[in-house]
Amino acid sequence: VKVEEGEGKLHVYNSYQVKEELKALGFVFDSTRKSWCMQLPAALNVLDVASSSQVDVQVIRRAASSSKLAPSGSLPVSPSPFTSAEFEATQNCRSSQAMEQPLVGMEKCRPMMLGDKMPDVSGRDLMAMTSFSEDMLKRDVLTCLKHSMGQEDAISTENVVLAYSAEQLMLALLELLVGSEQKALMPSMWSALYPQVLRATGGSARGSPCDLDQLSLPELANLLDSSFSVLVLNSPCSVTGLELSDSRIRELLQLCREKGVWVLLDMSNAHLLESTFNFDQTMLKQRLVVVQDFSHSLGISSWGCAHGIMEKSLAMRVEAKLASSGAGVSGSSLFMMHKFLSWTESSARLEATISHLRRVRRGASRMLAKVPGVRCLPCKGGFHLAIDVTDLELSPAEASEVLREEAAVCAVAIAPGKKRALLRFSLTQQEQLLANAFRAITASLRLLARDLKEMA
């Protein structure tokens, strides 16, 4: 949804799925721009709307209601240049083309192949193409809950919390999962990184630091028995500097599963879920919460743990960063696949563009290129990805649906039995995080294909 400068009109693009609703609201089809448009009345503050390229459905409804109630001196709504039949004909053209890019600003697009010239699209254009509203994102969360837990009736969009920064997410998760009478177990680095978060929870809910790699398995079991209800398992290599092995992490997960302890697990460890929790929807029914990588969410690209930076010095840097960035998203370097992947379907592949606010490093494309089934092409402002689904025995539509759902589920933190869900969405330049996420998704697709084959 855009407000074109100098026109004072509200334009809705790629709206073929909701055309009847737009007609009912008073929108008319603009054949020049291939959009549905409405003249904004003087009563609506056009400058406020035009200040952002993203306008949610409330603005549309407000514009529609203002137009219907506008005084006679207001600008009238233009008559439609298209008849209904002509409009249907233009929309039916989509099916006759092998690949029509549904994103605004990309006039011609087909499945990109290796060696193709990159489209000259700026990062700002890519951001505009993937615009969304918070309401849409919250509805996606509820859709995931509906498919995975059958709790769509118990949770409404008012109970979905969007966390724009790591400190907000930590505070919300601890408040939701721990409450005021229980304690959280976390690596020692966390007590230095998030003192304000731990203090804010108050009482006995403050975190108790512990070097997890120094504990034997029986000692860990005893710790988990001693009233701890949350284990924060952040990325060992990038934050704590501790090289926890995959086997140790699996032991921790299994212990937590047996003892009913919540786990906050970042996406850089998502590849461990397949062997521990079979990486399917049942993991959401366990006391397990999967969240994005906390370690890079403060916008600090290099933590220097491999070089032995002191915890105290690091904590001072982080606190300074927090003070300068505030709670907004401007100081964060975050990522969520469901927001910035725009999936389109071609014969046997899924096409996607990942856009970045910051310059993308070349190493990221090389890392993604190693992921089975994924082709990665750098483009201006981000990546262009192609995921091959031919060996999955799924149609592109089926695979696309699974990918959308899995990508959203990976970023949703769910509390079974509590009528609330949290979603953290973000951008990142962390190559390993992206690669692990795609490995987990392709593994899920293969599991689904196997299940479908067995059912057949």
Using pLDDT thresholds of 50, 70 and 90, give the confidence band for residue 156: low
Beta strands in 170-309 (DSSP E): 183-186, 208-209, 228-233, 262-265, 289-290
CA pair distance 436, 428, nearest whole angstrom: 13
CA pair distance 268, 277, nearest whole angstrom: 16
Token representation of residue 36: 């549905």
CA pair distance 262, 230, nearest whole angstrom: 5
- The percent of residues in the chain predicted with pLDDT above 90, rounded, is 0
Query: H or E element: which one contains 433?
Result: helix 431-455
The closest alpha carbon to 276, from 233, 229, 332, belongs to: 233
Using pLDDT thresholds of 50, 70 and 90, give the confidence band for residue 121: very low
pLDDT at 218 over 50: yes
Using pLDDT thresholds of 50, 70 and 90, give the confidence band for residue 128: very low
pLDDT at 339 over 50: no
Average pLDDT estimate for 80-94:
35
Average pLDDT estimate for 337-366:
40
What pLDDT is stored for residue 103 in this prediction?
30
The closest alpha carbon to 410, from 220, 298, 266, belongs to: 266
What pLDDT is stored for residue 370 in this prediction?
55
Using pLDDT thresholds of 50, 70 and 90, give the confidence band for residue 404: very low
CA pair distance 227, 149, nearest whole angstrom: 27
Average pLDDT estimate for 139-165:
46
Using pLDDT thresholds of 50, 70 and 90, give the confidence band for residue 199: very low
pLDDT at 23 over 70: yes
86-95, 209-218, 225-234, 353-362, range with the lowest pLDDT: 86-95
CA pair distance 287, 416, nearest whole angstrom: 8
Question: What's the pLDDT tens digit per position in 301-311?
Answer: 222 222 222 22
Using pLDDT thresholds of 50, 70 and 90, give the confidence band for residue 43: very low
What pLDDT is stored for residue 10 in this prediction?
72
Instruction: Give the alpha-carbon dihedral of 328, 271, 411, 183, to 10 degrees.
Output: -70
What pLDDT is stored for residue 379 in this prediction?
52
What pLDDT is stored for residue 249 in this prediction?
63
153-162, 350-359, 410-419, range with the lowest pLDDT: 410-419
What predicted TM-score, i.e. pTM, was given to this entire model?
A: 0.26
What pLDDT is stored for residue 373 in this prediction?
53
Using pLDDT thresholds of 50, 70 and 90, give the confidence band for residue 451: low
* Residue for token pair 């084959």: 453
- The percent of residues in the chain predicted with pLDDT above 70, rounded, is 5
Task: Please provide the average confidence, as pLDDT, over all residues in the chain.
Answer: 44
Contacts of 92-101 with C-beta under 8 Å, sequence gap 24+, read 94/16, 98/346, 99/344, 99/346, 99/351, 101/344
pLDDT at 201 over 70: no
* Structure-model confidence comparison of residues 352 and 139, the more confident one: 139
What pLDDT is stored for residue 241 in this prediction?
33
Boundaries of every domain in the chain: 2-96, 123-131+337-410+426-455, 162-328
Average pLDDT estimate for 99-128:
32
Instruction: Give the alpha-carbon dihedral of 60, 65, 68, 70, to 10 degrees.
Output: -100
- Among 33-42, 133-142, 239-248, 440-449, the range with the most confident prediction by mean pLDDT is 33-42
* Structure-model confidence comparison of residues 439 and 336, the more confident one: 439
CA pair distance 132, 128, nearest whole angstrom: 9
CA pair distance 204, 352, nearest whole angstrom: 46
26-40, 231-245, 252-266, 394-408, range with the lowest pLDDT: 231-245
* Structure-model confidence comparison of residues 53 and 238, the more confident one: 53
CA pair distance 335, 73, nearest whole angstrom: 47
The CATH classification number of 162-328 equals: 3.40.640
CA pair distance 52, 259, nearest whole angstrom: 48
